[in-house]
Amino acid sequence: MTVSQTASTQLRQRVLDWLADNVPPARIEHILGVEQMAIDLARHHKLDVEKAAQAGLMHDLAKYFKANRLLDMARAEGLPLDPVDEANPHLLHADVGAIVARDEFGVTDAEILAAIANHTLGRPGMDDLSCVVFLADSLEPGRGNTPELNLLRQASFADLHQAVWMNCDASFQFLIAAHRLIHPRALLTRNWFLQQFPRSLSFT
């Protein structure tokens, strides 16, 4: 094992130990599912597997932070806050999670931090690593086994970019049916990817 591999293994164990103290077991199961799907997608699309693994493992670090803590950390970092963030601070857990990854675990890689920050709402023009973690969060096996999810999983391996807007559309349908707010950034993400990659995928 190389020095780099040893350091990566040690970091992974530090993160797992931290998660055990801060996240319920069911959420850890989800996190490990995201980590593995991010690895699989990265390998399939010839991306950096180690970066995908780290971002997947750390994507939900702030998932169980209380609303006031999320808002305080976002404001201290100077993050722009939309009224939807104020109404539903939980949406900030992705951006705040990147802060935790940086400050608690010393992560400095901009791509990893962006992938953590973008995993919930996405971002117009986000890079492929962010697309991988964004999709893995929604589509890891623990999310279910419906025909709709399986179609999106196939799409994610066929074309990351088209899968992003397809995944956004599916999420919006759920949010609209539940009379939930839709964050403007999520809509901007969907529109950007749809404009760039409009062809809808079909599978037989």
Q: Are 138 and 163 in contact (CB under 8 A)?
A: no
Q: Report CA-CA distances (Å) from 146 to 45, 46, 110, 159, 200.
A: 24, 27, 34, 20, 19
pLDDT for the residue numbered 177: 97
Element spanning 102, H or E: helix 93-105
Residues 168, 174, 55, 196: what is their CA dihedral angle, to the nearest 10 degrees? 0
CA distance 99 to 62: 9
pLDDT tens, residue order, the chain (204 aa): 665 677 788 999 999 999 999 999 999 999 999 999 999 999 999 999 999 999 999 999 999 999 999 999 999 999 999 999 999 999 999 999 999 999 999 999 999 999 999 999 999 999 999 999 999 999 999 999 999 999 999 999 999 999 999 999 999 999 999 999 999 999 999 999 999 887 765 554
Query: To which residue do tokens 């973008």 refer?
Result: 118
Closest CA to 155 of 92, 113, 197: 197
pLDDT for the residue numbered 204: 41
What 3-state class would DSSP assign to 120?
A: coil
